[in-house]
Structure 1
Amino acid sequence: MYGWDDRGHVVGGAVTATSDRGVASVHGSLAVYPGTFDPFTPGHRDLVARARVVFDRIIVLLAVNADKRPTAEATTRAARVRDAMPAAWGNVEVDTWTGLTASYCLGRGATVIVRGLRTAADLSHEYQLAAMNEQLGMQTVWLPSRPQLTATSSTVARAYRSAQSARPSLTAEA
């Protein structure tokens, strides 16, 4: 049910801009931002930065997916994600999970799944995930990537890192 808080913000399922053009959080909300985060990119960090002001709390959930072959174990990736978060972001938690994201969310009492959209091509896949999660009892909120961050996906970041490590040294021997 929707309602108004004492500051004139819609609560219970919607977010509105405040008078100073900031965003008011959905009171009592817990959002989950799932992904493999291999690696955790500046785009991922930006999405967490924006989601953490919309929702009271956010969990960055590292999905453990047997179909994907991450470059590091989930605990190592989780530590890297934690290291990427400023200490002042006290409402952000990092966790790992094997299984359906919706099951994790329902078990933790989350109110929404947050997903990022980099391009229009992402929408088809994300729509299918959102429809499945809705059938399982979880709503999805999509946040678009900032234009300057759309070019770098985790796949591109891994390929770049791999190319850099395979590249011969540029130091000339005399």
Structure 2
Amino acid sequence: MRAVYPGSFDPFTPGHLDVVDRARALFDEVVVLVAMNSSKNPDVDEGERAAAVRAGLPAGWSSVTVVAWRGLTSAYCLGHGVGVIVRGVRNTTDLQAECRLAAMNQSLGVPTVFLPAQPELAAMSSTAVRTLGRLPPRWA
């Protein structure tokens, strides 16, 4: 089964990399879908962010592809034969928001699988990394 892991990935963090790695173990193929999120204002477009994600993936991960996308995640899934959405959750706030999105995507025919963040990565967010301008030393 093919899975999609969508996000703005601004920037792609060790937590994101961990979710992709664990999703690889569960699914035949994982598409990292670098999306445009209208509620966020990234410094670079999704094409440049997709290139940065690709550069951050280990070379041997042949079952992982990276795609830039503008549109609904469910539309990508339905149009490209992807059976499930993968989402990482760091805390209960993430889980509440993700459950709302999952319900919408389920109503459109695409289920969601949640992968909880590893405890040592749960405090990291792309927003925090952007604010600091770099990864904190313990994750760099």
* TM class, shorter-length: over 0.9
Aligned to 1:34: 6
Identical amino acids, percent of aligned pairs: 54
Cα deviations by residue, 1:12-41 (Å, 9 ceiling, x for unpaired): xxxxxxxxxxxxxxxxx0000000000000
Higher Cα radius of gyration: 1
Deviation at 1:71, TM superposition (A): 1.6
RMSD value, Cα: 1.0
TM-score (norm 2): 0.93
Greater relative contact order, per chain length (Cα 8 Å cut-off, separation 6+): 2
Aligned to 2:40: 68
Deviation at 1:65, TM superposition (A): 2.5
Runs of 4 or more above 6 Å deviation: none
Runs of 5+ unmatched residues, structure 1: 1-28, 163-174
Could you tell which deviates more after superposition, 36-45 or 69-78?
69-78
Runs of 5+ unmatched residues, structure 2: 135-140
Deviation at 1:132, TM superposition (A): 0.2
State the alpha-carbon separation in 2 of the partners of residues 153 and 159 from structure 1: 10
Pick aligned residue for 1:101 from 73, 77, 80: 73
SS at match of 2:133: helix
SS at match of 1:39: coil
Total equivalences in the alignment: 134
Cα deviations by residue, 1:96-148 (Å, 9 ceiling, x for unpaired): 11111000001010010000010111111000000000011000000000000
Deviation at 1:48, TM superposition (A): 0.2
